[in-house]
Amino acid sequence: MGYGTMQLAGPGVFGPPKDRAQAVAVLRAAIEAGVDHIDTSDFYGPHITNQIVREALHPYRDGLTIVTKVGAMRGADGAWLPAFSADQLRSAVFDNLRNLQLDVLDVVNLRLMFDTHGPAEGPIEEPLAVLAELQRQGLIRHLGLSNATPSQVRQATRLAPIACVQNHYNLVHRRTMA
């Protein structure tokens, strides 16, 4: 069972929450209810949700999988921006490690930002290669994709083992990209 931390940040997933203690309490209650998968990202806030995850749950219990995303960043005005350069991706991985207080990230999903509202075609080879190298260095256990098209998933599996694909799909939004 998973819990997504995106809404733990302030309005628009930007800045601090109105009630940080309440956000910490929500995470602790989720774990008590059996959640064993936390979905987060250091670009939520930015940095805010990962700091809340650490405050609420560190040291992390055995069996808890923390999945984070890289490939995006927030502008000063809160805009969602692509962050695919090697330096941006490395920095994002190290920010996630520091803010979550981890030595290795369980899963890192490359958030494809060719369209902020849904999957769209675009090149993934270079950013995925950067993450695969960080995985070889022992900083990432598993790689995944977020906001990916079927052709990007096929392409990614030829470049590196892909553990998961995280696309927008829920009770209200059931459109698939098949």
pLDDT surpassing 90 at residue 175: no
Kind of pairing between the strands at 80-82 and 72-74: antiparallel
E strand intervals along the chain = 2-4, 37-39, 65-70, 72-74, 80-82, 105-111, 140-146, 162-166
Q: What is the pTM of this model?
A: 0.93
The per-residue pLDDT for range 7-27, each reduced to its tens digit, is 999 999 999 999 999 999 999
Domains and CATH numbers, the chain: 2-166 (3.20.20.100)
pLDDT surpassing 90 at residue 173: no
Across all residues in the chain, what is the average pLDDT?
94
C-alpha to C-alpha distance for 31 and 23, rounded to whole angstroms: 13
The per-residue pLDDT for range 45-57, each reduced to its tens digit, is 999 999 999 999 9
Cite the active site residues. Answer: 44
pLDDT surpassing 80 at residue 169: no
CA atoms within 13 A on the CB side of 21: 0
C-alpha to C-alpha distance for 67 and 3, rounded to whole angstroms: 10
The per-residue pLDDT for range 59-86, each reduced to its tens digit, is 999 999 999 999 999 999 999 999 999 9
**C-alpha to C-alpha distances, 159 to 4, 152, 153, 163, nearest whole angstrom:** 28, 11, 10, 13
Q: How confident is the model at residue 170 (pLDDT cuts 50, 70, 90)?
A: low
C-alpha to C-alpha distance for 149 and 100, rounded to whole angstroms: 29
The per-residue pLDDT for range 130-163, each reduced to its tens digit, is 999 999 999 999 999 999 999 999 999 999 999 9
- At residue 116, the pLDDT reads 83
